[in-house]
Amino acid sequence: MSERKVLNKYYPPDFDPSKIPRMKLAKNRQYTVRLMAPFNMRCATCGEYIYKGKKFNARKEDVENEDYLGIRIYRFYIKCTRCLQEISFKTDPKNTDYEIEAGATRNFMALKLAEEQAKREEEEQKEEEANNPMKLLEYRTEQSRQEIELLESLEELKELNRRQRTVDYEGLLKQYQPETAEERKAREEREDNEFIKSVKFNNTTKHKIVTEEIIEDVKDDEEPKVKHIKIETVTAEKPVEPTSKKNESWNRSIGVISKKPALANLVRTKKAEESCSEKVQKMAEKVQKETNASGQSSESVSVPSGLSLLANYSGSDSDSQ
């Protein structure tokens, strides 16, 4: 498919460019260009503000008989957006700026005016120093005095900073330097030693003696023999922890678990049995006296047997316990 926009044109073999007639143009003819306003301006006719960067279709021409170091100077014509008054300005290559000519006034020129005034004062001072040697001497002495004052104030600031300096710059530099293998090994050993020293080992021990009872089965006429064996145990001493409020409330509501041995009530010694028989005899004598006092015969009254009294007494005793 052929191209829609032709870039190359066909020239026949017998083409002679010298035969093409040339157009006669004016020496200083104007061109239409598209540009933006180079600065803020205000129309002198209607007072309309034209801001920097507003686009215009302008006419451009060369300024005759004017240049700066061989650089051409151009003039532009634009129209006011409100009253269509023509405004003209030209380039200023000397100051790398634009200069307004007619139709408007430039706004916000404070910086440019200040620069021009400073430059003018500097030129006047140089001219005065060249013509008046006393003025030059005064200017140099004033300049040297200002330099001395600046140096003194700088030294005072340095001294003040030196007094108030608390930052260890060498330590900071060492902190960010790469650590060698030997330094890392020494640091790890030092940290391990510090950790070992920080751990507190409680070496205090306490000997605890535990007795164990062994009960042997014997006959009825012999007393039961109980062997006590001492067992020594070594336990680490632990700090006594104070009872918490929770344990106190639990003991108050439920009760304390008895620490009596489970086999304490199952084994009775002979002395305990003798005391029980004496009590039975006393109770039988008391009952007999009561029956005699009431006038009843001993045969009509049934005397309780010793076994029944012993059973009643043992039952009451166990209940009381």
Lowest mean pLDDT, pick from 3-7, 142-146, 248-252? 248-252
CB 139 within 8 A of CB 129: yes
Residue 155 lies in a domain: yes
Q: Which residues of 64-86 are buried (b: 16+ CB within 10 A; e: fewer)?
A: eeeeeeeeebebbbbbbeeeebe
Q: Last residue of some domain: 108, 126, 141?
A: 108
102 and 138 together in one domain: no
Q: Last residue of some domain: 162, 185, 202?
A: 162
Residue 96: give the domain boundaries: 27-108
96 and 121 together in one domain: no
Residue 182 lies in a domain: no
Mean pLDDT of 266-288: 66
How far lies 260's CA from each of 77, 243, 257, 269, 295, in Å? 122, 22, 9, 17, 50
The helix, strand and coil proportions of the chain, stated in percent and rounded to the nearest 5, come to: 40, 20, 35
74 and 90 together in one domain: yes
Q: Which of 20-29, 68-77, 190-199, 237-246 has the highest mean predicted lDDT (pLDDT)? A: 68-77
User: Residues 6 or more apart from 218 whose CB is under 8 A from it?
Assistant: 224, 225
Q: Give the pLDDT of residue 3.
A: 64
Q: Which of 34-43, 265-274, 290-299 has the highest mean predicted lDDT (pLDDT)? A: 34-43
Residue 148 lies in a domain: yes
122 and 104 together in one domain: no
79 and 122 together in one domain: no
Residue 142 lies in a domain: yes
119 and 73 together in one domain: no
φ, ψ (nearest 5 deg) of residue 116 = -65, -40
pLDDT above 80 (res 2)? no
59 and 126 together in one domain: no
Q: Give the pLDDT of residue 275.
A: 61
45 and 77 together in one domain: yes
93 and 138 together in one domain: no
Q: At what angle do helices 306-320 and 270-293 cross, to 10 degrees?
A: 120
Residue 304 lies in a domain: no
87 and 147 together in one domain: no
d(CA 108, CA 92): 18
Residue 272 parent element (H or E): helix 270-293
96 and 120 together in one domain: no
pLDDT above 90 (res 262)? no
83 and 63 together in one domain: yes
Q: Give the pLDDT of residue 200.
A: 73
Q: Give the pLDDT of residue 305.
A: 56
Residue 59 lies in a domain: yes
Q: Which of 33-42, 161-170, 247-256 has the highest mean predicted lDDT (pLDDT)? A: 33-42
Can you tell me which residue has the tokens 């009254």?
301
Q: Last residue of some domain: 146, 162, 178?
A: 162
pLDDT above 80 (res 79)? yes
Residue 130 lies in a domain: yes
Number of domains comprising the chain? 2
Residue 315 lies in a domain: no
d(CA 304, CA 262): 33
